Chains A and B, each alone.
Chain A
Amino acid sequence: MTEQSCFLYRTMQLIRVCEEQLARCHARGLIHGACHTYVGEEAIATGVCWRLRPDDAVFSTHRGHGHALAKGMPPFALIAELFGREPGCSHGRGGSMHLFSPEIGMMGASGIVGPCILQAAGAAYSFQLFGGDRVAVAFFGDGAVNNGAFHEGLNMASIWKLPAVFVCENNQFATEVPFQYAAGNPDVASRAAAYGMPGIQVDGNDVLAVAEAAEEAIRRARSGGGPTLLECKTYRTRAHAEGMGDYTYRTREEVAAWRERCPIRRFRAGLITSGEATEAELDAIDAGIREEIRKAGEEAERAHWPRAEAAAAHVYAARSRAHAPEPVVDSSPRPPISLAAATLEALDYEMERNPRIFVLGEGIGARGGNFGTTAGLFAKYGAARLRDTPISERGFTGLACGAAMAGARPVVDFMFIDFLNDAFGEIVNQIAKMQYMSSGRLKMPVLLRGCIGIGHSAATHHSGSYHSIYSHIPGLRVVVPSTPYDAKGLFTHALRCDDPVLFLEPRELMSTKGAVPAEPYEIEFGKARVVREGRQATVAAIGPMVQRAAAAAEALAGEGVSVEVLDPRTVSPLDTPAILASLHKTGRLLIVDEAFGPCGIGAEIAAQAADAGFNDLDAPIRRLNGAFAPTPYSPTLEAAVTPPVDRIVAAIRALIEE
Chain B
Amino acid sequence: MAIEITVPRLGWSMEEGVFSAWLKRDGEPVRMGEPLFAVESDKVTMDFESLDSGILHIPYDAPQPGDVVAPGQRLGYLLMEGEPAPEAMSIPAARAETVARPGKAPVTPRARRTAGELDVDTAALRGSGKGGRVREIDVREAFARKTEAPPPVESVPVSPLRRTIAARMMRSRENTAPVTLTRRVDATEIVRLRKQWKLRGETPPAYTDIVMKLAAVALQDHPLLAGRWEEDRIVLAQGIHVGIAVDTPHGLLVPVIRDVPALSLEQLAARSRQLIAAAQSRRITAADLEGAVFTITNLGAIGVEAFTPIIQFPETAVLGMGTIRWEVVAEGNGVLATREQMMLSLTFDHRVIDGAPAARFLRTLAALFGSPYAHCGR
Residues of chain A at the chain B interface (Cβ within 8 Å): 587, 614-619, 657-658
Contact = CB atoms under 8 A, between A and B. Distances in A.
Nearest to A587: B110
Interface stretch (B127-135, B166-174, B192-200): B127-135
B129 A616 contact: no
A26 to B, nearest CB: 54
Nearest to A614: B109
B113 A619 contact: no
Contacts of A614: 109
B129 A619 contact: yes
Nearest to A615: B113
B112 interface: yes
11 contacts: A587-B108, A587-B135, A587-B136, A615-B110, A615-B112, A616-B110, A617-B109, A618-B109, A618-B110, A618-B137, A619-B129
B111 interface: yes
Given A587-B136, A616-B110, A618-B136, 10 more contacts: A587-B135, A615-B112, A616-B109, A618-B137, A619-B108, A619-B129, A619-B135, A657-B130, A658-B130, A658-B135
Nearest to B131: A658
A588 to B, nearest CB: 9
A615 B137 CA distance: 14
A587 B111 CA distance: 9
Contacts of B130: 657-658
Interface string B94-133: 0000000000000011111100000000000000011001
Contacts of B111: 618
- The interface residues of chain A, by DSSP majority, are classed as loop
Contacts of A618: 108-111, 135-137
Contacts of B129: 619, 657-658
Nearest to A654: B130
Contact of A658 (B109, B113, B133): B133
Q: For chain B, what secondary structure do more than half of its interface residues adopt (helix, strand, loop), or is it mixed?
A: helix
Contacts of A587: 108, 110, 135-136
Contacts of B113: 615-616
A614 B113 CA distance: 10
Contacts of B137: 618
Nearest to A620: B108
Nearest to B128: A657
A577 B365 CA distance: 82
A617 B133 contact: no
Contacts of B112: 615
Contacts of B108: 587, 617-619
Interface string B269-284: 0000000000000000
B49 to A, nearest CB: 44
Contacts, number: 31
Interface residues of B, number: 12
Contacts of A657: 129-130
Nearest to B133: A658
Nearest to B108: A618
Interface of B: 108-113, 129-130, 133, 135-137
B279 to A, nearest CB: 47
A392 to B, nearest CB: 52
A203 B133 CA distance: 80
Question: Which 4 A-B pairs give the minimum distances between C-beta atoms?
Answer: A618-B110, A615-B113, A618-B136, A618-B108
A615 B112 CA distance: 8
A486 B110 CA distance: 33
B42 to A, nearest CB: 34
A615 B108 CA distance: 8
B133 A615 contact: no
A656 to B, nearest CB: 10
Nearest to B129: A658
Nearest to B137: A618
A565 B169 CA distance: 51
A261 B135 CA distance: 82
A628 B109 CA distance: 31
A191 to B, nearest CB: 63
Contacts of B135: 587, 618-619, 658
Greatest chain B CB density within 10 A among A614, A617, A657 is at A617
A658 B134 CA distance: 10
Contacts of B133: 658
B109 to A, nearest CB: 5
Contacts of B109: 614-618
Nearest to B116: A615
Among B110, B112, B130, B135, the one with the most A-chain Cβ atoms within 10 Å of its Cβ is B110
Max chain A C-beta neighbours (<10 A), residue from B108, B111, B133: B108
A587 B136 CA distance: 8
A618 B135 CA distance: 6
Nearest to B113: A615
Contacts of A658: 129-130, 133, 135
A425 to B, nearest CB: 42
Contacts of B136: 587, 618
A657 B137 CA distance: 12
A617 B135 CA distance: 9
Contacts of A616: 109-110, 113
A118 to B, nearest CB: 50
A619 B111 CA distance: 10
Contacts of A617: 108-110
Contacts of A615: 109-110, 112-113
A658 B109 CA distance: 13
A657 B108 CA distance: 13
A657 to B, nearest CB: 7
Nearest to A616: B110
A619 B108 CA distance: 7
Q: Which of A587, A657, A658 has the most CB of B within 10 A?
A: A587
A619 B112 CA distance: 12
A434 B232 CA distance: 85
A652 to B, nearest CB: 15
A278 B130 CA distance: 94
A618 B130 CA distance: 12
A5 B130 CA distance: 86
A616 B133 CA distance: 15
A615 B107 CA distance: 11
A657 B133 CA distance: 10
B293 to A, nearest CB: 47
B96 to A, nearest CB: 11
A71 B348 CA distance: 110
Nearest to A588: B110
Nearest to B130: A658
A616 B112 CA distance: 9
A618 B109 CA distance: 6
A618 B110 CA distance: 5
A280 B223 CA distance: 136
A616 B113 CA distance: 8
Contacts of A619: 108, 129, 135
Nearest to B139: A618
B102 to A, nearest CB: 20
A350 B111 CA distance: 51
Nearest to A610: B109
A125 B118 CA distance: 67
Nearest to A584: B110
A369 B112 CA distance: 55
A366 B254 CA distance: 99
A617 B111 CA distance: 8
A616 B109 CA distance: 6
A614 B110 CA distance: 7
A617 B110 CA distance: 5
A657 B109 CA distance: 16
- Which of A616, A618, A657 counts the most B-chain CB atoms under 10 A from its CB? A618
A617 B136 CA distance: 9
A452 B288 CA distance: 76
A615 B113 CA distance: 6
A618 B112 CA distance: 9
A616 B108 CA distance: 9
A616 B117 CA distance: 13
A619 B129 CA distance: 9
A487 B344 CA distance: 89
